[in-house]
Amino acid sequence: MVPALFLAHGSPMIAIQDTPYTGFLADLGRKLQPKAIVIFTAHWESEVLTISAGDGTYDTIYDFGGFPEEMYRIQYPAKRSDTEAAAVAERLTATGIKVNKDMERGLDHGSWTLLRRMYPDADIPVVQVSVHPFLPPAEQYKIGEALRDLGGEDILVIGSGVTVHNLRALNWSAPQFGEPEPWAVEFDDWLIEKMTERDYEALFHYESEAPHARHAVPREEHFVPLFIALGAGSGDEARKPDVIYRGYELGALSYLSLAF
């Protein structure tokens, strides 16, 4: 049994920088050795949930600009799995969720920067899945809920995003991993509290109930993977979500990561 995870992918520089967070990812990968990975990435948006299918090897997508040349030479040749993609599609369609399949798209940096740190040998099959950022949180949760039994089959479900993701609010003059902005901490504190209490009603209405919600989440694409991972958790009401990492970069880029 493996938990479902929400992992912050933060800056693309996690691919090459050694930080406490990248050390955490390496340790996490050593602890969790699933037979396959299903990853919902904030950097692939579609109105219909789309699943990477087929077999073969993913291309590496460099969907960012202005970074060191080293970043554009990285290859993460993860394997596709048509079998696992079909299993994901079957579970989703069984609950009335429409899906498409994609046979060509590579791994974007919302996927490969994390996976490269966790599983540097690229030896675990990966199913990459898109997000629809404008579905209500309750529907995002249901997407994850449809995949809830995958953890029992030793398949790791990851929601890859960021809780506090307002690039305009970053303090570029601050130490990179210095003191976080109080408003960012308050927002994450509220999320942790509501998830621990299983107050889904509040979570699903975070825009009106959470402190600094619009400042923390100016656009939903990086936030909705949290609800998908939450839904994909064990469902055991006695098991509380675990905060497995917490830190901030440039004051307001959250690396809050959770296991469900």
Tokens for 38? Answer: 């299903």
Rounded CA gap, 198 and 157, in Å?
20
Count CB atoms within 10 A of the CB of residue 239. Answer: 12
**β strands within the chain, DSSP E:** 5-8, 36-45, 49-52, 99-102, 126-131, 155-161, 242-245, 248-249, 253-254, 257-259
Rounded CA gap, 148 and 198, in Å?
16
Check residue 173 and give its pLDDT: 84
Give the residue ranges of DSSP H helices in 76-223.
Answer: 82-94, 109-118, 137-145, 182-196, 200-204, 206-209, 213-216
Q: What is the pLDDT along the chain (260 residues), one digit of tens a residue?
A: 999 999 999 999 999 999 999 999 999 999 999 999 999 999 999 999 999 999 999 999 999 999 999 999 999 999 999 999 999 999 999 999 999 999 999 999 999 999 999 999 999 999 999 999 999 999 999 999 999 999 999 999 999 999 999 998 898 888 888 899 999 999 999 999 999 999 999 999 999 999 999 999 999 999 999 999 999 997 777 678 999 999 999 999 999 999 99
Q: Which residues pair with 5 in a beta bridge?
A: 158, 259
Rounded CA gap, 60 and 73, in Å?
10
Q: What is the pTM of this model?
A: 0.97
Q: Which domains does the chain have, with CATH numbers?
A: 5-259 (3.40.830.10)
Residues 6+ apart with CB under 8 A from 60: 74, 75, 76, 77, 106, 107, 112
Instruction: Please give the distance of CA 140 from its chain centroid, rounded to a whole number.
Output: 13
Rounded CA gap, 28 and 257, in Å?
11
